[in-house]
Amino acid sequence: MQEQLMQEILMQILNGLVFGMIIALVASGLTLIFGIMDVINFAHGEFYMVGAYTGWFVIGYTQNFWLALIVAFFFVGLFGAVVEVSTLRPIRGRAPLYTLMAMFGLSIFAQQVILMIFGPIAKEVKEPLATKIPLFALEYPLYRLLIVAIALGIFISFWAFLKKTKYGTWIRATMQDNIMASALGIPVRLVYTLTFALGCALAAASGVLVAPIFSVYQSMGLAVIVTTFIVVVIGGMGSLLGSILAAIIIGELQTVSSVLVSPTYAKIFSFLALIGVLLIRPQGLFTISKR
């Protein structure tokens, strides 16, 4: 009995890591957009959803999961760029409510369009690797471990992009002081577009990775966005490292506690963590120096 419980806990620790990395990908996009543009992207879950649908669509034609991941990343990134230029740029500088309403409207619009095109029935995506491997005392799906590795690979690549490239430095400078960045010649409007595109692309990648586990359906963005916002607030708005660490903490909290209580109640622990952080350190675990 005890051995069974230990195995269950171990399984949930691993699941928590997988779930945490998926949320980290979504949350890092959201926090990046907020950190640089001061935009709370209420449609962020829909970019995750559109990413998943794009992945399902490409797999349907090519049978190639990895190609679908790449196509979804760039397609949704491009879509995000179009949204930024057409919807956010014209209302920049106005009261925050304009942006909130615009993104909320986009969220509803995206869900309805997807529903019209693809219908209400959830789409199944096969795992690209159906093998299980022995891990500690368990047989654990290899694909889920691969999600962790891919997410880590994306984060490392993103870190390298931010630290080592010209455009990454532009993004970091704009995040810290957009006025001074512009005064030094940086095309801040282009940085905003690039940032929004990147944020959406990260969400899309997460949507494709999670598709074989949870399937693809039109309201899947709603299922993830609340947890994403909790993670971003706990990690610190605008802090990438904070979002990643908070996502892993919340992922573990939800999955491990589901061993003791029902999954519905397990989600309450995330809210308790959020309340705790807001009371003790309202700026989040990590903060960014910003002007």
Task: State the residues that interact with other proteins by CB under 8 A.
Answer: 166, 169-170, 172-173, 176-177, 179-188, 288-289, 291
Query: Would you state the structure tokens that stand for residue 254, as one six-digit string?
Result: 């939800």
Residue 169: name the closest of 38, 41, 36 by CA.
36
Closest separation between CB of residue 38 and other proteins, Å?
16
Which lies closer to other proteins via its Cβ, residue 38 or residue 177? 177
Of 172 and 259, CB closest to other proteins:
172
* Of 206, 161, 167, 213, residue with least CA distance to 187: 167
- Residue 57 CB, shortest distance to other proteins, in Å, is 38
Q: Closest separation between CB of residue 243 and other proteins, Å?
A: 17
Minimal distance in Å, beta carbon 172 to other proteins?
6
Q: Which is nearer to other proteins, 96 or 276 (CB)?
A: 96
Query: Measured from the CB atom, is 188 or 204 closer to other proteins?
Result: 188
CA distances from residue 74 to 170, 194, 264, 276 in whole angstroms, order as listed: 21, 12, 35, 38
Cβ atoms 218, 120 nearer than 8 A: yes
Give me the least distance between CB of 184 and other proteins, in Å please.
4
Q: Which residues pair with 141 in a beta bridge?
A: 132
Give the residue carrying structure tokens 């304009």: 98
Q: Which is nearer to other proteins, 121 or 184 (CB)?
A: 184
Instruction: Tell me the longest C-alpha to C-alpha distance in the chain.
Output: 66
Structure-token pair, residue 133: 């491997």
Contact 234, 287 (CB under 8 A): no
